[in-house]
Chains A and B, each alone.
Chain A
Amino acid sequence: MMEKNMKTAAVMMMFTAGLVCADGPWVVSSADVALDTRSKSSLIADTDEEVDARSYTEDLSGFSKIDTRINRGTLIMFM
């Protein structure tokens, strides 16, 4: 029994020593997200589409969809 206890103690002490000596880096990851590095024109087009869709439903129900998609500047002016 004593021998077993000694082994247990030895394992615990080794664990403790490991913690004391540990000086490695701490690594943490984020959650998965979307990353889009296509050309800037693609990004701007995507953004415009989102703005257009929101504007169409919320603020410009009478405005033609084609017009909102073509001219974001017009949209902003009407808003």
Chain B
Amino acid sequence: MGRLSEAYWRQRSEESMMTKKVIWVTALVLTAGAWSARALPEVSNVAMQQITGTRTMQITYTLSEDAIITLGIETNGVALPDKVITFLSGDVCKKVDAGPRTIQWDAGADWDGNLDATARAVVTAWPTNNPPDVIVFDVTDGSGAASYPVYYYTSLEALPYGGVQNFIYKCDRLVMKKIPRGSFTMGWLDIGVRQMTISKDFYMGVYEVTQGHWYRVRGTIPDGIVADYQTRMVRPVTKVSYDHLRGSTSQNVDWPTTESYINPVDQPFLSRLRDKTGFGMIDLPTDAQWEYACRAGTRTTFNSGDFASTAGGTVNEWLNPLGRYQYNGGWVGGVTLPDYATCPPSQATHIVGSYAPNAWGLYDMHGNVLEWCRDWHQTVIPPNDTDPTGPTTGSARVQRGGDWYWTAENCRSGYRGSATPSSVSGSCGFRVMMNVE
């Protein structure tokens, strides 16, 4: 009995060892396969030196795969703020091909009057399917350009020329900010709310698209628009229909469903932007994406997160710092409407970015102009859902955010308006969003 038992346990032990070996070999093979298959861009040989007699630093590195490159600088192991690493040239802030590469940083312009013996360059390679937080489309070259340069930054503070408030970003460059995936409560309490999940990060325009952006991309500006000559380029574009942006089923130019339009003049704004930037996922936000981005984690009436805020009354102390609406300059009821062609920013639409941003850095989510969304409008409250896209048919498209002509009530985070896709209004514009595959 004792010998049998010993043989039995020896056999069990050998079987166990064999099983363990098989498991380890399998796991190692899978691990090695995964390591080689992931093909992440890798950076090596990073070196920095000051160019003699100048205040410019030269950074060299080697890149294994095409990637998006950003640069950080540390001194004494502490990162310098993004806003002092902006005068960059060379192979940085854009998609860079594999190989040996060079960056130049004008440290004298960015970080004047310093002497440090522990400066360190930090080069980051981002996979093209996982870009950094800020993407910028440079539309300066206008409607005739074959393509638009695309730049990448780790934050809004890293934008050159003093940051996002520079008019260059309100006219010549479109700035997109990454919105992190998550769940939120959509709607408002006295009407009804639903739990929605946005399952993927996406990018949202920091500003409403301005007349300057529109002119650069389309080469024209819609007639009868709200703005005076001095400021029109940095105020939101209006008098654009949903069909101008995404194509029209009724006119048989149903882009992007069919990828067709009659001729380049009729090419919808978003289609043109896709073609010239190479980003095939540029679009309008869905209804849920818009509200998620507007709220930026808040559940309050407006996106400031102030639990005391309400939307009632005329002049609204909570909305005043957040956006242009009827009672903070938009239009004083009972008085003649402002002259659309000449009114300054003290009336009607304001220059984008003139009010406080939300927690994710988006401006004018309340007021200024209504913003077209992708969904067909529905009168019933949609069910709890993940990445909802609305009904498959309808007669009107969703508009969000309220506008300069409306009261605070209609500018709240949960308010939803609508209009027929072909309609235009002096109080409705749009904001661009983008998925990254």
Contact = CB atoms under 8 A, between A and B. Distances in A.
Interface stretch (B124-132, B316-324, B408-416, B417-425): B124-132
B27 A47 contact: no
Interface string A12-28: 11011001101111111
Contacts of A31: 47, 120
Given A15-B31, A34-B119, A20 B113 contact: no
Given A16-B27, A20-B37, A43-B55, A35 B114 contact: yes
Contact of A37 (B40, B67, B113, B129): B113
Bin the interface of chain B by size.
35 or more
A47 B30 contact: no
B55 A36 contact: yes
B125 A25 contact: yes
A39 interface: yes
Contacts of B48: 30, 33
Contacts of B121: 29-30
A47 B53 contact: yes
Interface in A34-48: 34-40, 43-44, 47
A16 B30 contact: yes
B98 interface: no
Nearest to A39: B113
Contact of A2 (B16, B42, B111): B16
Contacts, number: 134
Contact of A20 (B34, B43, B52, B108): B34
Interface residues of A, number: 33
A58 interface: no
A35 to B, nearest CB: 4
A25 to B, nearest CB: 5
A29 B46 contact: yes
Nearest to B123: A28
A8 interface: yes
B346 interface: no
Contacts of A22: 38, 40
Nearest to B43: A28
A5 interface: yes
Contacts of B117: 32-35
A2 B41 CA distance: 39
B122 interface: yes
Contacts of B130: 23-25
Contacts of A76: none
A1 interface: yes
B52 A47 contact: yes
A38 B324 CA distance: 45
Q: Which residue, A15, A33, A37, A40, has most C-beta atoms of chain B within 10 A?
A: A37
A9 interface: yes
B64 to A, nearest CB: 9
A20 B31 CA distance: 9
Given A26-B43, A26-B125, A36-B55, A19 B115 contact: no
Interface in B119-156: 119-127, 129-130, 132
A36 B56 CA distance: 9
Given A25-B130, A39-B113, A30 B31 contact: no
B35 A35 contact: no
B108 A37 contact: yes
Contact of A26 (B40, B115, B129): B40
A22 B119 CA distance: 30
Contacts of A36: 50, 55, 114-116
Interface of B: 12, 16, 19-20, 23-24, 26-28, 30-31, 34-35, 37-38, 40-44, 46-50, 52-55, 57, 59, 61, 67, 74-75, 107-108, 111-127, 129-130, 132
17 contacts: A5-B20, A5-B23, A8-B20, A8-B27, A13-B27, A16-B27, A23-B40, A26-B42, A27-B122, A27-B124, A30-B121, A30-B122, A32-B119, A35-B75, A35-B107, A35-B119, A40-B55
